[in-house]
């Protein structure tokens, strides 16, 4: 295995980790106006479930982008140029969402909080959809010419396969958020999260199965290299894990349900990257114009230095994030409501 192949796997792992961890963040934000039913205490509890971790989860995105820039500069240049507008929308949405988390509690005003709640919802919804659309287009391919320049326009991205990818990530992340809330809350909010998870699971299974089946039928990797079979196998694993998450949720096994859905997200992401390999950005104009792990990679010395640095610092980062989740592992409970006599006094 060449170092370029190793870094392709590493980037796939980073994206998979980002989708698993930031996925439930997006899901909580999407569900904020629905599960809370306008109750400020419920909103506060929902936000507190992700409060200690949401910003750390976004580090996976920064690391994935930085690794792509360093390991595959041609891939980074072509992808970020072609997807400039969608990525800009995602970036603005993430910025607004982050500011909303910090500022919604700065003023004791219902109108003030409602405005920031809308920002959290929008800042979670848009990336949840657009990441699926973006990766759908990456797997499907975009019109790249011989110079590696994008020759399409914004509407090129709005093809049926990519739009189905957007619906799939929206359903998966919403389900992930509902299962996370069921795992991290108590009382009525926990019950509502379980009920929503049961409903959303149906949409996630249908959309996910359709998207992964389409991927396996039309965009699977080379049969000669074995990636086609691996991609289909991973898609099947994702489907089984997703069904398992739905069944575990109905049985009240919240930890099992959340873990199974995380496995579904991991397997689905791995299936897409396996279907893509050895390409990193296919060209729909000509296979000869496609970017691959070979022609888009940095020099061997650069990849070797990156590998050493990653081996030193990656375990430290993973250990720190694991410790963070361990510290904040308990359920978030709402403060007890004052009794009628106490309110009267």
Is residue 171's pLDDT more than 70? yes
* Residue written as token pair 């971790």: 53
Is residue 26's pLDDT more than 60? yes
- What is the number of H-type helices and E-type strands within the chain? 13, 2
Is residue 153's pLDDT more than 50? yes
Average pLDDT over residues 81-103: 93
Residue 140 falls inside a structural domain: yes
Q: Find the CATH number of the domain harbouring 254.
A: 1.20.1630.10
Percent residues over pLDDT 70 in the chain: 95
Is residue 275's pLDDT more than 70? yes
pLDDT at position 231, please? 87
DSSP string, 46-75: HHHHHTTTHHHHTHHHHHHHHHHHHH-HHH
Summarize pLDDT for 1-17 with one digit per residue, the tens. 689 999 999 999 999 99
**Which of 238-247, 283-292, 333-342 has the lowest average pLDDT?**
333-342
Residue 345 falls inside a structural domain: no
Q: Identify whether the C-beta of residue 196 lies closer than 8 Å to the C-beta of residue 35.
A: yes
- Residue 37: which domain range? 3-335
Residue 23 falls inside a structural domain: yes
pLDDT at position 337, please? 64
pLDDT at position 91, please? 94
pLDDT at position 221, please? 61
**Helix ranges, 36-186 (H):** 40-50, 54-57, 59-71, 73-82, 84-103, 110-140, 160-184
Residue 343 falls inside a structural domain: no
Q: Identify whether the C-beta of residue 151 lies closer than 8 Å to the C-beta of residue 144.
A: yes
Average pLDDT over residues 166-191: 94
pLDDT at position 341, please? 46
Mean pLDDT (the chain) is 90
Residue 340 falls inside a structural domain: no
Is residue 203's pLDDT more than 90? yes
* 209: its two tokens: 């199965």
Question: How many domains, the chain?
Answer: 1
Residue 342 falls inside a structural domain: no
CA 40 to the chain's CA centroid: 27
Strand (E) or helix (H) holding 300: helix 300-327
Backbone angles phi, psi at 261, to 5 degrees: -70, -35
How far apart, in whole angstroms, are the C-alpha atoms of residue 183 and residue 254? 6
- Count of CB atoms situated within 10 Å of the CB of 37: 11
Residue 142 falls inside a structural domain: yes
Residue 341 falls inside a structural domain: no
């Amino acid at each position: 295995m060449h170092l370029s192949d190793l870094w392709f796997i590493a980037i796939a792992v980073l994206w998979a980790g980002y989708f698993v961890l930031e996925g439930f963040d997006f899901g909580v934000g999407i569900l904020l106006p629905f599960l809370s039913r306008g109750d400020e205490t419920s909103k506060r509890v929902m936000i507190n479930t992700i409060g200690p971790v949401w910003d750390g989860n976004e580090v996976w995105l920064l690391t994935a982008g930085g690794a792509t820039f360093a390991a595959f500069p041609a891939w980074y240049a072509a992808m970020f140029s072609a997807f400039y507008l969608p990525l800009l929308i995602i970036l603005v949405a993430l910025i607004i969402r982050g500011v909303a988390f910090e500022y919604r509690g700065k003023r004791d005003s219902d109108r003030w909080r409602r405005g920031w709640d809308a920002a959290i919802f929008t800042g979670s919804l848009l990336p949840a959809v657009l990441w699926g659309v973006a990766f759908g287009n990456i797997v499907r391919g975009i019109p790249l010419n011989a110079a590696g320049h994008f020759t399409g326009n914004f509407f090129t991205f709005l093809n049926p396969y990519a739009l189905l990818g957007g619906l799939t990530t929206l359903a998966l992340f919403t389900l992930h958020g509902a299962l996370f809330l069921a795992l991290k809350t108590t009382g009525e909010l926990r019950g509502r999260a379980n009920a929503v998870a049961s409903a959303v699971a149906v949409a996630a299974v249908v959309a996910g199965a359709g998207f992964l089946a389409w991927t396996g039928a039309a965009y699977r990797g080379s049969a000669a290299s074995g990636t086609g079979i691996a991609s289909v196998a991973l898609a099947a694993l994702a489907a089984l894990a997703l069904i398992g998450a739905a069944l575990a949720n109905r049985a009240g096994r919240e930890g099992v349900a959340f873990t199974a859905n995380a496995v579904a997200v991991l397997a689905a992401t791995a299936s897409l990257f396996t279907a893509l390999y050895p390409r990193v950005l296919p060209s729909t104009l000509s296979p000869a114009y496609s970017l691959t792990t070979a022609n888009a990679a940095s020099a061997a010395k650069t990849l070797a230095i990156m590998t050493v640095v990653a081996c030193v610092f990656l375990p430290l980062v993973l250990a720190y994030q694991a410790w963070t989740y361990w510290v904040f592992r308990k359920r978030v409970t709402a403060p007890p409501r004052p009794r009628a006599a106490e309110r009267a006094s």
